[in-house]
Amino acid sequence: MFLENTIETADISAKMSYIDYKKDKAYKVLKPAVKDEELTRLISLVATDKDKSAFSNLFKLVGPRIKGYLMKLGSNDIVAEDLLQEVMLTVWRKSETFDRSKAAVSTWLFTIARNKRIDMLRKEIRPQLDPMDPMLTPNEEESADDAYGSKQQSLKINDAISLLPDEQSKLIKMTYYEDKSHSVIAEELKMPLGTVKSRIRLASTRLKKLLEGTIHD
C-alpha cells in the first residue's frame, strides 16, 4: 500500500491513516460501491431540485472525511472547518457541474477542496482550464469500463499506488499531502532540482501507466 510504504517514518498520522485505510478497505468489501451511488444520488437531488435535506445528508456523509483530508494536508481544526464550509458552499452552488460519467464523487470533491485551499491559504491566482472553453478539443476515446467510478476501478487505484517503489511513493506523497513544489522538495531532500523533477517524472509516469492498466506487474 501507499501508506504502508511510507510508514517507516514512524509518523503517527501515517499509521492512523493506514489503520483507517484498512478499515476503509473492509468497508468497501462489505458494501461495494453503495457509498458512491448514494453520494451521486444526493448530489443530483441538490443539482436538480436544490434539495436542502439531501444537501444536509451529503454534508453529514462527506464532511468528516473532507475535514480529515484537509487536516492531513496540514490545516489546523479551525482552518479545516472554515475550508470545509467553503468546499460545501461550492458543492451547493456548482452541483450541476458534477458529471458522474466523467468523474467519481471523490475526484470532484478533491478538485473543489484543492481549489478552495489555494484560494484561501495561498491567496494566489491559479489559472485553470475553463470547462466551457469553445477551444476545448474532444476527449480521447474512452471505453465504458475505463471510467473510474466503479468499485473495481477504486481497488485498482489502491493497487497501483502499492506497486510504486518506496522512494517514488514518497515523492508522490510529498506532492499531494505536503503540498510541496519541486523546488521545496529538492531543498528538503538535498537533491538537485533536475533530479527531483526527473524522479517525479518517472514516478508519475509509472503511476499513470498503472492507473491506466497498461502495466500489470
Partner 1 sequence: MIKHHLHSEILLSYAAGNSSPSESLIVASHITSCSKCRRDVETFEKLGGKLLEISNSVEVDSSSLDNIMSRINNDDYSIDSSDVLGTSDIFKNIPVVLQKYLPDGDSLTENWKKGIGGIKYFDIDLGQSNKNTRARMLSIPPGKKLPNHGHEAQELTLVIHGGFSDENGSYDAGDVAIEDENNSHTPISDPKEGCVCLVVYEGKLKFKGLFGPILNFLKI
CB 9 to partner 1: min, Å: 17
Q: Which three cell numbers stand for residue 186?
A: 529538492
Q: Which stretch binds partner 1 (CB under 8 A): 4-12, 162-170, 203-211?
A: 203-211
Exposure b/e, 170-199, CB count within 10 A at least 16 = b: bbbbbbebeebebeebbeeeeeeeeebeeb
CB 176 to partner 1: min, Å: 5
Q: Under rule CB under 8 A, which residues in 9-28 are in contact with partner 1? A: 16-17, 20-21, 24
Identified binder of partner 1 from the candidate list 54, 117, 164, 169, rule CB under 8 A: 117
Question: Binding of partner 1 at residue 167 (CB under 8 A)?
Answer: no
Name every residue whose Cβ is closer than 8 Å to that of residue 3 and which is 6 or more positions away in sequence.
14, 17, 18, 21
List the one residue out of 169, 55, 176, 37 whose CA is nearest residue 111.
Answer: 176
Q: Which stretch binds partner 1 (CB under 8 A): 4-12, 135-143, 162-170?
A: 135-143
Q: Which three cell numbers stand for residue 94?
A: 456548482
Question: Binding of partner 1 at residue 115 (CB under 8 A)?
Answer: yes
State the first-to-last Cα distance of the chain, in angstroms, to the nearest integer.
15
CB 114 to partner 1: min, Å: 4
Cβ proximity to partner 1, 20 vs 37, nearer residue: 20
CB 8 to partner 1: min, Å: 19
Ramachandran assignment for 123, one of left (phi > 0), alpha (psi -120 to 50 degrees), beta (any other): left
Q: Under rule CB under 8 A, which residues in 40-99 are in contact with partner 1? A: 52, 55-56, 59-60, 63-69, 71-72, 80-81, 84-85, 88-89, 92-94
